[in-house]
Structure 1
Amino acid sequence: MNNNRRIFLKNLGIAGAAASVMPSLAFSAENKKSEFIKRKVTGFPSAAKEIRIGLIGAGIMGSQDAETALSHDNIKLVAVCDLYTGRLDEAKAKWGEDLFITKNYSDLLNRKDIDAVIIGTTDHWHKQISIDALKAGKHVYCEKPMVHSVEEGHEVINAWKKSGKVFIVGSQGMSSLGNEKAKELLKEGAIGELNYAEGFWARNSPTGAWQYHIPEDASPATVDWKKYVANTEKRPFDAKRFFRWRNYLDYGTGMSGDLFVHLFSSLHFITDSLGPNQISATGGLRYWKDGREVPDVLLGMFDYPKTEAHPPFNLSLRCNFVDGTSGSTYLKLVGSKGSMDVKWDEVVVKRNENTGQDDPFLAEQEKRENLRQPDRKKINPPLETVYTAERGYKGAHYDHFANFFHAIRTNGTVAENPVFGFRAAAPALLCNDSYRQEKFIKWDPVNMKIV
């Protein structure tokens, strides 16, 4: 974590934020209090040096990553690689005719005018392209999950350590105001001792269930299918397997690899956890019976052992692509004195009404006042405090790239390096194994290996 982020976290204390409390809501009938989460340090400095980037995988997320990267100062997109001709044409239309385009990512990595790459490909290409990019001397922003299987994790970590380059995994919620505020509140004891956490991610739309658009011109003439399946089982051309790849095990990592990994990343950041030591999952294909190989309802249960950073606790995660209520996303941490609902731009703290005063001085003062005026009524503290991002907040995605670019320019560190990224990806990927094998899986979160 860089110095700017440490300063920001230090300045996020309740005392420092007191000036931003909304007076009209401080003691409302609903017993709620609201505060803005304020960022005292705006952005990351040292943007004078231009960073030239290449995009490998120009689909939905890759293109969004590129747009977010270009919203920062002094960032230039030099080249785009994709296996589908239509995306290359769109890239030139969007980002300029002088853009270098190719279907061979090695052509992009061989260019001397590229400092960093964004890897937005299908999951099954993350490991190899990451390693090749690091060997080519490029900094790497790789979409989550970092790898397609747990067997690949240490290969990427070792290549990163040898390279001396900056590598960040794209679980952008890691850099959110909500996560940072939750981390601070947990450390301050806002909910007491953590004993349980849960996360939920639901969707209710065709595109949200990976029913992505398939272009009319999709064919072996416009898609380099041979390259696409070069590192997995060879199959005849199938447009669904290319454009709706998340539904198939050869290329994607299911609901857990796509969505649970976000929740793991946030939880591990907030709690300073290295991960669970036992994993189990169940679920099923309940609605999207379109030939996909992964469930559309998935439930995961995880045991987290006691460490120096946190007590032992349990985690449950749920994902549902058949949600008729239009879906919701959250991470909840439950402790001995209350709970926190954590989103990327909001944290809601709820406390037990019978919880005693945390501050010894205030507790003694309250005791003496009760002895002096035993029958006098008191103003109860709010049972619920809502922390929301300050107006003008550009979002976690923007800040994640800010962290990446700042680390490149200053030879600094990032919020989610490959070690952290693998510790978030591994339990997510092992959910798939537990689901398919119908058994508990033991995991060593310290040494990052299956037991």
Structure 2
Amino acid sequence: MEEEKEINNRKEDKDSSANEFSQGRRDALKVIATVPVLGAMAYGVYRKKKAENTNRNAAEMFRFGSKVAPYSPTSSGAQVIRVGIIGFGIRGTQLMQGLGFATPEYVENLIEQSRINSANTRYQDFVEQEDLRVEITAVCDIFDTYAEAAVNAGANIHREGVGGTLGSKPRRYRHYKELLAAPDVDAVVIASPDHWHGTMAMDALRAGKHVYLEKPMTWTVPETYELRSLSRSNPHLVFQLGHQNRQIEAYERARQIIEKGLLGRISLIETGTNRNDPNGAWVYPIHKDANPKTIDWKQFEGDPDRIKEYMDYMTSAGLSGYVGPESRDKFSLERFFRWRCWWDYSTGLSGDLLTHEYDAMNQILHLGIPSSASSSGGVYFFKDGRTVPDVLQTVFEFKQRELTMLYSATLASQFSRSRKIMGHDATMEVGNTLTVTVDPRSEQYRTQIEQGVVKPGEPFYTYIPGQSVDAVSTATERYFAERGLLYSFISGKRYNTTFLHLKEWLECIRNGTQPSCSIDQGFEEAITAHMGTRAYLEGRTMYWDKDKEQITRE
């Protein structure tokens, strides 16, 4: 394969470069190996750079304190968990694939792609994806065509293409509460529009079901507290929020580097979202089968209590023009398929994309809830009637940590920007790969800079656990791939991060343990996103009162 050839070529280049090191440089490396903090890591960076970049022995570097457990397959004798799926749109489809279920048409398309391009391994990856010991017993979607597809995906137990043999079909429910009442459902995966997230999750917990909830956690601030309280009062029910970035191997390495103080004192984090196509701006296609007879619009509208709650808040903030009942009463295909564009159903850039960036940084740095949030932006490019901004800047202050996190987003430019964690001595760029660059003014590395051992402005440490481009076909997919949200590499093997996150949830259900993005991490994500949203809507800084656990205006 061309990818393997390229890796081998890089390996030969690095071997050649390594032979050119002078004896003096070797001596210098031995010296810095004794320097506190830098020590073994700095020496290991150079000595094992080839192993890191060629993805041969990445696991070796974890011997200096990794908490990442080795990959462990699900036992063939493990308890079978009966799962219900609520929502089979774009993300719901991906979540079912993460569980190992896809429509025959999807599998057929993967087969065709592999025929056209032998380097495309997506079909092989899906077929070989581990059996998670799950049975899809129930599905619910308010669009008939999606519901039928979900039924066929749940029955495709052999992961076959068109013409294959299907197993028993899961039952289709027309209302999610009917699914929650089903006795043959142990756990639910919720992938509904944002305005239903908190409501459905709470109803699921009340029904005694384990919950995997797609992000963001909630649509309104009050339900954030309600959901946390309900989850904490039912500790036997496992709650996992859908931030699959929790499974990225490079993030664990980033956490270790920061804990060892290799960046020095951190004062600024920069992260953002850049996209530049209609799909990335949520202008999704409208299905040809969609009409008032095939869509339950009344159920789509939302929970009446939550709608009133949100409208009351908007009115009190002088923002009643952003959301209103008249938009819900009128059937709209555009709003049904592109609901992310309106505050009536959406959490905007804050809930949809900022949450990915925040959760990644929270995972690495344990930031918690910011002390304040300020936002600006607007609808600057997509003049299609949307109310949520397509350009957003949000600044989060973490006063106790003495650092700032800047989130900057545009849906009208694809210029690539990496996540940067800036320290006094070095800056780390984090995505599906990781790079550390030493600062020219570093005090920690001053001697090494003067000796020529460390070159400021050049990558000092690069961690590339694996590279994959065969699954990247759109600007949106590239955005997710660059941030490690499509695949992760564990000991050199590529895994779908959604699969890994679902697997963790299922194992926690079986073992009675807590997952990596449980209700407490979800609460931090939700409050942070709501602070950013309210700061934008109200045009003023929002604050977090840690003692009272309240968002305030001053």
- TM-score, normalised with respect to structure 2: 0.69
Deviates more, 1:399-408 or 1:295-304: 399-408
- Counting helix residues as a fraction of each chain, which structure ranks higher? 2
Whichever residue aligns with residue 76 of structure 1, its letter is E
Match of residue 238 from structure 1: 332
User: Where do 1:5-404 residues align within 5 Å?
Assistant: 14=41, 20-22=48-50, 36=58, 41-44=69-72, 47=75, 48-70=78-100, 71-73=129-131, 74-96=133-155, 98-164=169-235, 165-231=237-303, 232=307, 233=325, 234-306=328-400, 311-323=401-413, 326-328=414-416, 330-343=418-431, 345-356=432-443, 379-380=453-454, 383-390=459-466, 391-404=492-505
Q: Distance in 2 between matches of 1:269 and 1:378?
A: 34
Does the aligned pair in 2 maintain the 1:176–1:399 contact within 8 Å?
no
Q: Distance in 2 between matches of 1:443 and 1:405?
A: 34
- Counting strand residues as a fraction of each chain, which structure ranks higher? 1
Deviation at 1:116, TM superposition (A): 1.2
Q: Distance in 2 between matches of 1:138 and 1:94?
A: 22
Q: Distance in 1 between matches of 2:501 and 2:95?
A: 10
Q: 1:382-430 CA deviation, whole Å, 9 max, x = no partner?
A: 7421112243231432322222112111111111112211211222222
Cα distance change, pair 16–219 in 1 and its aligned pair in 2 (3 A): same
Gaps of 5+ in 1: 1-12, 27-33, 371-376
Q: Which has the higher contact order (CA 8 A, sep 6+)?
A: 1
Deviation at 1:86, TM superposition (A): 0.8
Match of residue 475 from structure 2: none
Report the secondary structure of 1:314's partner residue: strand
Q: Distance in 1 between matches of 2:130 and 2:240?
A: 17
Gaps of 5+ in 2: 1-39, 63-67, 101-128, 156-167, 308-324, 467-491
Whichever residue aligns with residue 277 of structure 2, its letter is S
Deviation at 1:198, TM superposition (A): 1.1
Q: Distance in 2 between matches of 1:417 and 1:215?
A: 35
Does the aligned pair in 1 maintain the 2:51–2:58 contact within 8 Å?
no
Whichever residue aligns with residue 69 of structure 1, its letter is L
Deviation at 1:174, TM superposition (A): 2.1
Deviation at 1:358, TM superposition (A): 6.9
Does the aligned pair in 2 maintain the 1:199–1:331 contact within 8 Å?
yes
Cα distance change, pair 192–17 in 1 and its aligned pair in 2 (3 A): closer
Deviation at 1:41, TM superposition (A): 3.7
Q: Distance in 2 between matches of 1:257 and 1:124?
A: 11
Deviation at 1:215, TM superposition (A): 1.2
Does the aligned pair in 2 maintain the 1:196–1:335 contact within 8 Å?
yes
- TM-score, normalised with respect to structure 1: 0.84
Deviation at 1:293, TM superposition (A): 0.8
Report the secondary structure of 1:201's partner residue: strand
Does the aligned pair in 2 maintain the 1:43–1:399 contact within 8 Å?
no
Whichever residue aligns with residue 70 of structure 2, its letter is T
Cα distance change, pair 354–294 in 1 and its aligned pair in 2 (3 A): closer
Q: Distance in 1 between matches of 2:506 and 2:543?
A: 37
Cα distance change, pair 137–19 in 1 and its aligned pair in 2 (3 A): farther
| Percentage identity across paired residues of the two chains | 29
Deviation at 1:81, TM superposition (A): 0.6
